[in-house]
Amino acid sequence: MQFQCPKLTPLQSRFLASSVALFLLGLVYWSLSSPHFAYAGELEVDGNGQSRGGKDHNWHRIEQQRLEDDGVDDGNSPESRRMQRRADTVAAQPIGGNNVPNTLNIEAGTTATWVYAEELLNGEYANKTAGLPSEIGQRSVAEPLYHAELRKRQDSGATRQIYVSINTCLQPTWNATGVQTAAPPQLTLYVANQTNKEEIGPGTGAGQIARVLDEGFANVTVNATGDWYLAVHAPNLPDGFTGIWNYELAVSIDDYYHAADTTNPFLHLVDTDIDSALLVTGNLTQADPSSSVFEAWMGLSPPPFIMFAANQNHTTTRGIRNSYCGWSQAKQIAASQDDVAGAGSGVQMGMITRGLGNKPKEQFFVTYLNGSSTYYGVLALAGNSTASGSGVVGGGGKVWQALNFTTKAQQNCALMFNLTFCDEVAYAVPYNPTYNITGLRSLFDNYTSTYYQNFNYSLQQIPCNTTDDAKYSIAKGCDDCAAAYKQWLCATSIPRCEDFTNPAFWLQPRAMGQPSFTNNSQMDMTYLTQQYLPMQDAPTLDGSPKDQTWLTALASNSSRNTLIDTEIQPGPYKEVLPCEDLCYSLISSCPSALGLGCPMKGRGLESSYGHRPKFNDTIMCSYLGAVYGINHAKQLVAPVFKALVFASLAALALGFA
């Protein structure tokens, strides 16, 4: 039967709306003996999802439904109403199997009824599959989704739990003039709560569970026995909308065919630039690098997740955001497991360990975006990640909560990651199109590794790997020092870049006197010559700090390192200052013989380093592995040590001063 075929795209699928039943209004008794007669009444659907010539057939039914919805009796005798219900019941279409999507178009104001036959209920449970390497985010090996071996084969007549889920694939579209301000209304799923409840749907009384779909998704589980009835009801359309819905309904004795996590995006924004965005999933496991679970995650090829994205002004995603099927139709951008390199989709995917904890994650590099635009990004699983569609437990896919991200407005910050030396760097850096990103990468790689090499020579002069007595510190060794230096060096030599137009108070303006490469002109002089006090606490011996302007202050008219001003010449930008604890961590980890120090308040600290926010998940200072959406308060060193540093160390400016 056609509606069982999972490969039919909704537009291709023929119109099998429940209203067909009403086409048979006068033919009740015929159809009683021949339920399949209904399919002879299929209506063509044109390219816009509109049924052709269906209107007249369905008008009576729609009107009837409207009256029922309004609680108004249409004056029909109870007899004829019962008769009509009988017609509906007869037209109940069989669910095609366990874990099979039943795809159907439905018109506004109509109800389609379905029956899940007892044979399916008493069918064989699906065999256990390997599943993903571990439960997502956990250390342990995954429990199989379903436990076939634990379930005895039951005699017919026994009760079994069934999992009913639905995804909206297509919805009515906005055809009025003016901006669409609301989503089209949602379908409602009805699942019987008692056996043989043939009259099901709106207005059929108790004994059923009704769920209005939430953004195109609903799920219900019940303990069923015998033939079990379900219905899907489409509401009347408000003004401005036209067309039909198309949905996928599935029933399973194993697990939900469709899934949605509506409370957690499980996706983090790393950073954006004017036309791309870098996102990563949460930790896929907390297992240790030496464990087989860790290796199994890293070895997944293609990577397990995909994602969808759409500009927030792309209104067709409204109303289907919890629906995998809906997203796969309405998206503007979709990653594909068949196109991991992103040649066609513009989304490159890969497994990484970069970031805090260095646990396995999946990364998405989304390109060809518009500037200054806010997008929804949605993490998704296609089916169970290795197989999808009919016959697969969970084959209908899963989506997580949508994540918002906004691209930058200006061209002089570019996303950079995949560096050789500073391999934990992943954010936008000051940029100029005369350098391509590969050139910029090697420029920074060369710069940082040269510095690191020099530092290493100095470190080698210090007794590190000797006995505890001779070591510079009992707690810290040279490896700690080298690691802290690398962190600090990468975060300070490769500044994190934001739009100059970004008004956030914690951003430090840089290179303000430089011409912008977009129009080769300097900023307005009256603005540049306004007073600017980079450090409120600076000593005022002769009052000179007070005379500083945007143009004369070193902090605002140059970059953190000269490489950027002389080589890259990005023009004015803003910098997310590195976190001050990177510096404190460096001096607490390294021998004092190296003479390292951090700047003090009023002597460079304010314009060189930033603070971690205590309570929110904004990136207010830069550190390697920072992503949006996690709490950044965890410092590398305790505040006690920080106080010590202030008390004892001179303002030996290592970084920018």
Q: Which residues bind ligand NAG (CB under 6 A)?
A: 124, 126-127, 129-132, 161, 175-176, 193, 209, 219-223, 242, 259-261, 268, 282-283, 286, 311-313, 348, 350, 356-357, 359, 365, 370, 373, 384-387, 392, 404, 418, 436, 438-439, 446-447, 450, 627, 630
User: Which residue lies nearer to ligand NAG by CB, 448 or 508?
Assistant: 448
Q: 130 vs 212, which CB is nearer to ligand NAG?
A: 130
Residue 610 CB, shortest distance to ligand NAG, in Å, is 19
In whole angstroms, the minimum distance from the beta carbon of 245 to ligand NAG comes to 15
CB of 583 to ligand NAG, least distance (A): 21
**Residue 64 phi, psi dihedral angles, 5° rounding:** -60, -45
| Residue closer to ligand NAG, measured from CB, 93 or 204 | 204
Name which of 131 and 495 has its Cβ closer to ligand NAG. 131
Between 370 and 540, CB nearer to ligand NAG: 370
User: Is 2 or 434 the residue whose CB approaches ligand NAG more closely?
Assistant: 434
What is the smallest separation between the CB atom of 648 and ligand NAG, expressed in angstroms?
30
Would you say 438 or 526 has its CB closer to ligand NAG? Answer: 438
Integer Cα distance of 200 and 218 in angstroms: 17
Give the separation between CA 247 and CA 187, rounded to whole angstroms. 9
Q: Which of 187, 328, 183, 334 is nearest to 249 (CA)?
A: 187
- Closer to ligand NAG by CB, 316 or 607: give it: 316
Nearer to ligand NAG, 10 or 604 (CB): 10
**Tokens 């009740």 appear where?**
28
What is the enclosing helix (H) or strand (E) of 590?
A: none
**Coil, strand, or helix at residue 548?**
coil
CB of 494 within 8 A of CB of 608?
no
Token representation of residue 499: 């739009």
Q: Is the N-terminal amide bond of 302 cis, ω within 30° of 0?
A: yes
- The tokens describing 405, both together, are 């991200």
Tell me the closest approach of the beta carbon of residue 311 to ligand NAG, in angstroms.
5
CA distance 495 to 490: 8
* Min separation Cβ 392 and ligand NAG, Å: 5
What's the CA gap between 203 and 205, in Å, rounded? 6
Cβ atoms 195, 224 nearer than 8 A: yes
Of the candidates 331, 174, 320, 332, which has an alpha carbon nearest to the alpha carbon of residue 247? 320
Q: How far is the CB of 563 from ligand NAG (least distance, A)?
A: 8
Q: Minimum Å distance from CB 475 to ligand NAG?
A: 22
Give the residue with the Cβ less far from ligand NAG, 283 or 588: 283
Buried b (16+ CB within 10 A) or exposed e, 69-92: eeeeeeeeeeeeeeebbbbbbbbb
Quote the CA–CA distance of 133 and 300 in Å, as a whole number: 9
Which one, 96 or 513, has the nearer CB to ligand NAG?
96
Q: In the bound complex, what is the minimum distance in angstroms from residue 22's beta carbon to ligand NAG?
A: 20
Closest to ligand NAG by CB, 451 vs 550, is 451
The residue whose two tokens read 């890969």 is 350
Tell me the backbone φ, ψ of residue 190, rounded to 5 degrees: -115, 130
Nearest distance in Å: CB 560, ligand NAG: 15
Burial 290-307 (b: 16+ CB within 10 A, else e): ebebbebbbebebbbbbb
Can you give 373-389 as a three-state secondary structure string?
CEEEEEEEECCCCCCCC
Q: How far is the CB of 464 from ligand NAG (least distance, A)?
A: 26
Indicate the residue among 115 and 222 with the shorter CB distance to ligand NAG: 222
Q: Which is nearer to ligand NAG, 404 or 530 (CB)?
A: 404
Q: Dump the DSSP string for 229-296.
A: EEEEE-PPPPTTEES-EEEEEEEESSS-SSEEESS---EEEEEE-SS-EEEEE--S----TTSHHHHH
User: Which 8-state DSSP code applies to residue 157?
Assistant: T
Nearer to ligand NAG, 225 or 473 (CB): 225
Inter-CA distances, 129 with 6, 125, 304, 387, 650, Å: 21, 12, 15, 11, 63
Cβ-based burial of 344 (10 A; exposed 0-12, middle 13-18, buried ≥19): exposed
Nearest residue to the partner ligand NAG, using Cβ = 357
Q: Which is nearer to ligand NAG, 348 or 607 (CB)?
A: 348
Print the SS3 string covering 557-591.
HCCCCHHHHHHHCCCCEEEECEEHHHHHHHHHHCC
Shortest separation between residue 120's beta carbon and ligand NAG, angstroms:
12
> Quick check: 436 and 568 in contact, CB under 8 A?
no
Q: How far apart are CA 270 and CA 109, in angstroms?
A: 45
Provide, rounded to whole angstroms, the least separation between the CB of residue 170 and ligand NAG: 15
Least spacing, CB of residue 228 vs ligand NAG, in Å: 13
- Give the pair of three-digit tokens for residue 634: 């965890």
Query: Helical H runs in 417-521?
Result: 437-459, 478-493
Report the nearest approach of ligand NAG to the CB of residue 16 (Å): 20
Q: Any bridge partners for residue 279, and if so which?
A: 269, 364
Least distance to ligand NAG, CB of residue 28, Å: 29
Task: Count Cα atoms within 13 angstroms, Cβ side, for 287.
Answer: 23
